[in-house]
Amino acid sequence: MIAMTHAGYVAAAWLGTFGLIGGYALAMVRRGRKLSRQVPPGERRWS
Amino acid sequence: MTATTQPGAVAGTPQPRSGDTAGAPAGTGSRGTRIVGLLALASIALLVLYGLVISPADVEMDDAVRLMYVHVPSATYLYVGCFVTTLASGLWLWKRTAGWDALAEAGAEVGLVFAVITLGTGSLWGRPTWGTYWTWDARLTSTAVLTALLVGYLALRRLDLDPDARSARAAVLGLLLVPNVVIVNRSVEWWRSLHQGSTLTRIDPTIEGDMLVALMVGFLALGLVFSWLMIHRFRVAWLSQQVDRIDLDEALAERRAEAEAEVAR
Amino acid sequence: MWRDAALVAGRDLRVEARSRVTLHQVAPFALLVLVLFAFALDPARQVLERATPGLYWVTVLFSALLAVARSAALDESGGVRDALRLSALEPAGVFAGKALAVAAELLALEVLLGAGVIVLYGAEPAGVGLLLATCLAATVAVAATGTLYGALVSGLRVRETLLPLLLLPVLAPVLIGATRAFEAALAGVPADGWPWCGLLAVFAILYSVAGAAAYGTLLEGS
């Protein structure tokens, strides 16, 4: 794996992809928590 | 269960909503999403294993082929997201239930995430393989236009409008999303096929062995990620609608209280 | 429905005839864009000549943005929206009327730009049948799409910036098709261009139907 050609590009692409997904997921979970605090539990419909 | 206001309270003073929601488990997670999430993480690990380690380098592209294991599935899920938005928009126009509106929003935003991934991986694939970060090949070009369509849709959604009007406009726009994508894809492909093979980033259909497995795992992993993101984003949109509704109810209640106070005086 | 369309088209065009915005502002803008392209590219005849079809249609698209924005703005002032809603006019008819008015203005602009391109870029018209058919199909396509999207953003504070963002990606196929058709006509091989003209016609029909169908919802929900 160390001897991979174009290692820089492969790394950039994979890290970028999962970094973006992770970042977005985090942002969404945080936003969900923030919104959830403003909504009474009865309205949430899942748990 | 919403907070009540005191008669005569000055309009605009935010009333604390505590007591209603304190202590409740707050978030968009659930047992279902935790399961999907764990499966997603597991399959990502599997993808890393197969994509980066087990599968061999390609004869022509060397290790750049490893980008395809992410690029091709993410392009696929981008289209799935668009279909969800269009379908949900159509259903909203038909049934007018708020859930479809939330689903349409989720599809577009998660689709945009995958659009960025598709463009990014496609571009990074192009550099070592063809020497440039951007080639005007059919897939990249259509994806770029599709990204613009999604950005436009999401921009319309963020507008400060009466929620019903906003949903109606977004629904019309969303309904047109897939037709637009189809027309754009067809014309771009036809255009590019005049000059060269239309899609450079297509994976060789005779792919087999460990490379095929890696690609399949890519579809699995990104599919689970897509699903997890969709569920959460849908719930966020749903909660957002609830909050808007609560805000509206409270504002109305305050106004009513004010009016009553005026009359009482 | 067509009577309603004629009514609305008549009104829109009469407003235009009185205010002459298209004549005095959009047309000069269009010609200005042609001139700007000459500044940006090498005015040596070869470059401009080769790029003529593309530059022509990009200019048409930019001008169309202005024409469509203006058409939508006509309905925003003082309760015109409500009047339209309450009147017995069919939404599809209103849509058709507005689109026809925009199409008429665009066709006039295209003729003007044609002259501009002949004079400024040294274009030599050939395959005129194909050129005309392309203009017709593309104009209907742009007018129909533009009218629909104009309604989508009407009344919004950000409509000036949102309309181009929404409309231009959607019209990309029109740009591609019209340019290819023009290229074929000017190069003397119209047979290559007619299929593209066909694409434009399909696009025009699709968006005419879509606009007519959706206009009612948009008039209501605002």
Q: How many CB pairs (< 8 A) connect B and C?
A: 70
Beta-carbon separation of A39 and B243 below 8 A: yes
With cut-offs at 50, 70 and 90, classify the pLDDT of residue B11. very low
Tell me the C-alpha distance between B52 and B66, whole Å.
7
DSSP string, B26-47: -SS--HHHHHHHHHHHHHHHHH
Using CA coordinates, name the residue in chain B closest to C159: B156
Q: Tell me the pLDDT tens digit for each residue of B150-207.
A: 999 999 998 877 788 889 999 999 999 999 999 999 999 888 887 665 555 566 666 7
Tell me the C-alpha distance between A34 and A46, whole Å.
16
- pLDDT computed for residue C112 by the predictor: 93
Tell me the C-alpha distance between C105 and C74, whole Å.
15
Q: Is residue B22 part of a domain?
A: no
Q: Is residue B11 part of a domain?
A: no
**Chain C residues within an 8 Å CB radius of B155:** 162, 165-166
For residue C79, report the phi and psi dihedrals to the nearest 5 degrees: 70, 15
- Domain span holding position C146: 2-220
Is the pLDDT confidence value at B28 over 90?
no
The whole-angstrom distance between C23's CA and the closest CA on chain B is 30
- Domain span holding position B231: 32-249
- pLDDT computed for residue B18 by the predictor: 38
Q: Tell me the pLDDT tens digit for each residue of C184-216.
A: 988 888 888 899 999 999 999 999 999 999 998
Q: Is C200 helix (H, G, I), strand (E, B) or coil?
A: helix
Which residue carries 């049934």 as its tokens?
B95
Tell me the C-alpha distance between C187 and C126, whole Å.
8
The whole-angstrom distance between B75's CA and the closest CA on chain A is 13
Is the pLDDT confidence value at B16 over 60?
no
Q: Tell me the pLDDT tens digit for each residue of C69-100.
A: 988 888 877 677 777 777 778 888 889 999 99
**Nearest residue to B171 via CA among B152, B146, B145, B153:** B153
Does residue A5 belong to the interface with chain B, where contact is any CB pair within 8 Å? yes
What are the structure tokens assigned to C150, written together? 């104009």
The dihedral sign for the CA sequence C110, C114, C119, C121:
positive
When divided into structural domains, chain C yields a total of: 1
Average pLDDT value for chain B: 82
Is the pLDDT confidence value at C35 over 50?
yes
* Touch of A by B (3+ CB pairs closer than 8 Å): yes
ipTM of predicted complex: 0.89
Q: Is residue B254 part of a domain?
A: no
- pLDDT computed for residue B205 by the predictor: 62
* Touch of C by A (3+ CB pairs closer than 8 Å): no
Q: Is B58 helix (H, G, I), strand (E, B) or coil?
A: strand
- pLDDT computed for residue B7 by the predictor: 43
Q: Is residue B7 part of a domain?
A: no
- pLDDT computed for residue B138 by the predictor: 85
Tell me the C-alpha distance between C70 and C56, whole Å.
21
Tell me the C-alpha distance between B146 and C63, whole Å.
23
Tell me the C-alpha distance between C25 and C42, whole Å.
27
Tell me the C-alpha distance between C12 and C73, whole Å.
11
**Nearest residue to C104 via CA among C181, C15, C198:** C15
- pLDDT computed for residue B83 by the predictor: 96
Using CA coordinates, name the residue in chain A closest to B33: A47
- pLDDT computed for residue B206 by the predictor: 67
Q: Is residue B15 part of a domain?
A: no
Using CA coordinates, name the residue in chain B closest to C172: B184
Q: Tell me the pLDDT tens digit for each residue of B88-123.
A: 999 999 999 989 999 999 999 999 999 999 999 988
Q: Is residue B162 part of a domain?
A: yes
- pLDDT computed for residue B149 by the predictor: 96
Q: Is residue B76 part of a domain?
A: yes
Among B252-256, B257-261, C21-25, C203-207, the minimum mean pLDDT is found in: C21-25
**Chain B residues within an 8 Å CB radius of C203:** 183
When divided into structural domains, chain B yields a total of: 1
Q: Is residue B26 part of a domain?
A: no
CB C178 within 8 A of CB C114: no
B partners (3+ CB pairs within 8 A) are A, C
Q: Tell me the pLDDT tens digit for each residue of C64-73.
A: 999 999 888 8
Using CA coordinates, name the residue in chain B closest to A39: B243
